[in-house]
Structure 1
Amino acid sequence: MLDFETYLARLPDQSVLCVGDLMLDQFVYGEVSRVSPEAPVPVIAVKREETQVGGAGNVACNIASLGASCVFVGVVGDDEAGQTLAAVLGRLNGRLSAELVADPERPTTRKLRFVSEHYSSHLLRADWERPQPLGAAIETAVLARVEAALPRVTAVVLSDYAKGVLTPRVVRGVIAAARGRGVPVVVDPKGRDFSVYAGATLITPNRKELGEASRRPLADLDAVAAAAEELRRDSGCEALLVTLSEDGMLLKQGGRAAVHVPAHPVRVRDVSGAGDTVVAVLALMLAMGAPLDAAMRAANAAASVVVGKRGTATVSPLELRSRVLPAAALASEEKIVFDAAQLDDRVAAWRAQGLRIGFTNGCFDILHPGHVRVLTRARAACDRLVVGLNSDASVKRLKGEGRPIQDVVARADVLAALEAVDLVAVFEEDTPIELIRRLKPQVLVKGSDYRVDQVVGREVVEANGGEVVLVDIVPGHSTTGILKKSGQAPARAGGPALPAGREPA
């Protein structure tokens, strides 16, 4: 039986090299209420804009979001979009190292989408790209960066979006160098000729790509399995994994029967980037020596998480764990959200039922009776209680070195197991003000060691007709006090001032 907990614990020790076509995804959201007087086209009133790392960069982001390290090698233009991508990648939690080659002969691949906020429908997309093979000098520069990175990675991903980075020379060079070191190579392919990927450990076409490459109809799973085996044999790879959207995944290894897993039953919001998540999880599982069928099941679970989110998305270890573990273990974990869109959906559903939303927050490093009282009283003041939980980085900034004692997964698990808690929302900032602005709770609860005017988010809640509730604390109970008794109390870092007489939680 697969011990998935062991694999999760080993994720931070893994490092994956990702090579492929990097893109800058930009979104302009707004509302359309009129037609332009200049031409018969809609006018979008812009509300907000988003910038995301796309293409092969999303594979790298998924690897980093799962807690592993990633070295990304790609090509950008000598332009502003390339500088933007480098800056965005540089901000991704310190686990992503971007080795970008600037090619003055091509623009950075950029896709600008105009989206109706209300209907979530795309109105227009503008592309900047030059999908032509790299020149010899740029190929050499890419391969040099790959050679430099290989000694410190445990798996390699080739993410081919047919924009010209993964030329035959680059692909063959990367595969040969990786396999020479015994490092598994996972390929997300493009095109009809998979022979260029000869020597890869695993190739992951979708149904359409498999049909085009095999030049045969894929009417059922038997046809998919036959085409997969033919293509696996002809391409010279060890195994082929076919992603089948709502039909799940199918794995074909040499000399073995095909293995099919159905898709998880989820509400699909957006399939953008799901293939990137699949490839990232497969690479990490293979890096840890997992069997291919186990890697497929983990990747299938990860895909079910990201298709439930809007836009190009990533998956966290906690979200992946909640899909893989048996159903009996999931009740509390379904309460934990790291993604703002999931929070929005849950709260919107509660509001549609006319339920009163409450909110409290804290680090909850070592749960004690003081915490329990605040949480139970908070739940009594509302119909659904959302608990804002500081991330590990946030706790460290507020409390100092040595904190948190327990990581965010452990702290979230403990909170979610409490009957009083309906949802745990993890936030990265020092205070929950942005979370409160997003949530707009009707009730905001804190301990009575605060004054009402000291409660973060009070103005937001009261401006929306809500109230602040102060709960009597249990004297003599605090995390710092517990740590002092055990002789482990670390020094507190600088941070927001605490109310007089209040000890850090």
Structure 2
Amino acid sequence: MSREKIHSAITGLAGHKVMIIGDLMLDHYLMGVVERISPEAPVPVVRVESESHLLGGAGNVARNIASLGGASLLVGVVGDDRDGVLLDRMCADAKLVTRLIVDTHRPTTKKTRIIAHNQQVVRVDHEQADAISTDTLDMLMQTVEAEIADYPVVIISDYGKGTVSEEFMRRFMALVDGLSSRPLVLVDPKTANYDRYQGVDLLTPNTKEAGEGAGFPVSGQESVIRAGHALFDRLNCNNLLITLGPDGMALFEGRQTVRHIPTFARKVFDVTGAGDTVIATTALALSAGHDLLTSCTLANYAAGVVVAQVGAAIATPEDLRETVDELPEPVVSGW
């Protein structure tokens, strides 16, 4: 794939539309230092020096699309609480268009990470992970149905926090299959929910998730291909993208064509949010009319940018252009 083609694809991302539906969450960070052990229990005492919040889950997917110049619509559920208000304000500050359903019976999902000396000491989760109620699901589906005709690509961002329930997927797939212009449906999977993703257009598991879905460990080319075929058998999906960490990506364009895209990461500091970046970039490129191989190649460049940063980072078109110019032209091979 030529450097000129990749640059043209990056330029063409601006303004294209993607809908994101899934689990919204706040990533809360408390950063500090440990100077002593607690006299109350054998645990470190962290003296907090700074505090920050980031959009996590489906919100981070939307941030990635916005950073690349895309126009996203973020649909999800929040609680009737201070964290829900904060999440809404953060979306507005990031200039994200949202349709947030407020559920008075469940909290906004928040993950608090306490970090000292660049090491995570503990994580504290505030969440209710059971399926959203029928009333909340009805409101969610009404929102999706009212908006979906304007979006050629939809991302389902499943973090296992209750939004992407079995009933939601049944109703959602029935909705899209009945549209005169059916959008592409991309899913970032949660292993426990695999069987809900029947018939989707693209599934984007990492190696561990692919192995869990296939029922055996995945560690090399042969097992990646076997796992891919097992997932096709299980889910009847149209395409599959297995991210292989430092080994790049395996793109299954249907069952018969498997392509290996090499990694474009120059250095790896933190893989947090890399999956969000991959599915966001792929979806936006597909919305812009690019073929699946080109879209996944762009996603691989974007993932290489974000893993070189700490935290749930994002990539810009300028980041992608710089990376493309600095690295050799990608050699995509058949498997």
TM-score by length of 1: 0.62
Determine if contact 2:26/2:83 at 8 Å carries over to the other structure: yes
Distance in 1, Cα, partners of 2:64 & 2:170: 25
**SS of alignment partner, residue 308 of structure 1:** coil
Per the alignment, residue 39 of structure 2 pairs with: 37
In structure 2, runs of 5+ residues without a counterpart are 330-335
In structure 2, the residue matched to 1:317 is 317
| SS of alignment partner, residue 280 of structure 1 | helix
C-alpha offsets along residues 56-87 of structure 1, whole Å, 9 cap, x if unaligned?
Answer: 11101101111111100000111111110001
Contact 2:158 2:190 in 1 (8 A): yes
Structure 1 equivalent of residue 24 of structure 2: 22
Whole-Å separation in 2 of the counterparts to 1:327 and 1:112: 37
CA contact 1:229–1:254 (8 Å) conserved in 2: no
Segment of structure 1 superposing worse, 309-318 or 183-192:
183-192
| Structure 2 counterparts to residues 65-464 of structure 1, below 5 A | 65-92=67-94, 94=95, 96-116=96-116, 119-179=117-177, 180=179, 181-192=181-192, 194-325=194-325, 327=327
> 1:217 is aligned with what amino acid?
P
**What is the CA–CA distance in structure 1 between the aligned matches of 2:255 and 2:271, rounded to whole Å?**
32
Structure 2 distance, partners of 1:288, 1:172, is: 27
User: Which SS does the other structure have where 1:205 is aligned?
Assistant: coil
Query: Residue 150 of structure 1 aligns to which amino acid in structure 2?
Result: I
Distance 1:267 1:155 in 2: 31
Aligned residue pairs total 325
* AA partner of residue 314 (structure 2): T
Q: In the alignment, residue 268 of structure 2 is paired with which amino acid?
A: V
State the distance in 2 between where 1:300 and 1:8 align. 13
Which residue in 2 is equivalent to 1:418?
none
SS of corresponding position for 1:114? strand
In 1, the alpha carbon distance for the partners of 2:101 and 2:193 equals: 26
Equivalent AA in structure 1 for residue 158 of structure 2:
D
1:4 paired with 2:2, answer no
- The root-mean-square deviation of aligned C-alpha atoms, in Å, is 1.8
Instruction: Report the Cα distance in structure 1 between the residues aligned to 2:266 and 2:327, rounded to whole angstroms.
Output: 14
The offset of 1:145, in angstroms, is 1.0
Match of 2:333 in 1: none
Match of 1:55 in 2: 57
Greater relative contact order: 1 or 2 (C-alpha under 8 angstroms, separation 6 or more)? 2
Q: Please say if residues 14 and 154 of structure 1, whose CA atoms lie closer than 8 Å, have aligned partners that are also in contact.
A: no
Q: 2:80 and 2:284 mapped to 1: Cα distance?
A: 32
Shift of 1:291: 1.8
Deviation digits for residues 260-285 of structure 1 (CA, Å, limit 9, x no counterpart): 12222422111111100001001011
1:445-484 aligned at under 5 Å gives the runs none
CA contact (8 A) 1:269 1:307 kept: yes
Q: Secondary structure at the match of 1:11?
A: coil
| 1:450-474 deviation per Cα after TM superposition (whole angstroms, max 9, x unaligned) | xxxxxxxxxxxxxxxxxxxxxxxxx
SS at match of 1:258: strand
| SS of aligned partner of 1:31 | strand
Q: What SS does the corresponding residue of 2:312 show, helix, strand or coil?
A: coil
Structure 1 residues 111, 326: CA separation in 2 closer, same or farther (over 3 Å shift)? closer
The answer to whether the 8 Å contact 1:193/1:213 transfers is no
Distance 1:324 1:176, change over 3 A: farther
Determine the structure 1 residue equivalent to 2:66.
64
Gaps of 5+ in 1: 330-505
Which residue matches 1:350?
none
Q: In structure 1, the residue corresponding to 2:106 is in which secondary structure?
A: coil
The separation in 2 between residues aligned to 1:40 and 1:63, in whole angstroms, is 44
Cα pair distance change 1:175/1:324, threshold 3 Å: farther
- The code of the aligned residue for 2:91 comes to L
Indicate how the Cα distance of structure 1 residues 178 and 286 shifts in structure 2: closer, same or farther if over 3 A, else same: farther
| Distance in 1 separating the partners of 2:255 and 2:306 | 33
| Per-residue deviation, residues 164-202 of structure 1 (Å, max 9, x unmatched) | 100122223333434532311110011245332122110
Equivalent position amino acid for 1:105 in 2: H
> Does the Cα contact within 8 Å between 1:192 and 1:209 map onto a contact in 2?
no
SS in 2 for 1:231: helix
Task: State the AA in 2 paired with 1:61.
Answer: R
Helix, strand or coil at the partner of 1:13: coil
- Cα distance, 1:111 vs. partner? 0.8
Deviation sequence 1:106-133 (CA, Å, 0-9, x none):
11111111111xx310011111011001
- Contact kept? 1:90, 1:97, Cα under 8 Å: yes
Aligned to 1:481: none
Read off the aligned partner of 1:35 and give its amino acid letter.
I
Shift of 1:44: 1.6
2-structure distance, mates of 1:132, 1:107: 12
For residues 282-339 of structure 1, the C-alpha deviation after alignment (integer angstroms, 9 at most, x for no partner) is: 101111222222212111111110001011111111112222346489xxxxxxxxxx
How far the C-alpha of 1:7 sits from its partner, in A, is 2.5
Task: Please say if residues 195 and 236 of structure 1, whose CA atoms lie closer than 8 Å, have aligned partners that are also in contact.
Answer: no
Cα pair distance change 1:229/1:262, threshold 3 Å: same
Q: Which has the higher strand share?
A: 2
- Letter of the structure 2 residue corresponding to residue 172 of structure 1: R
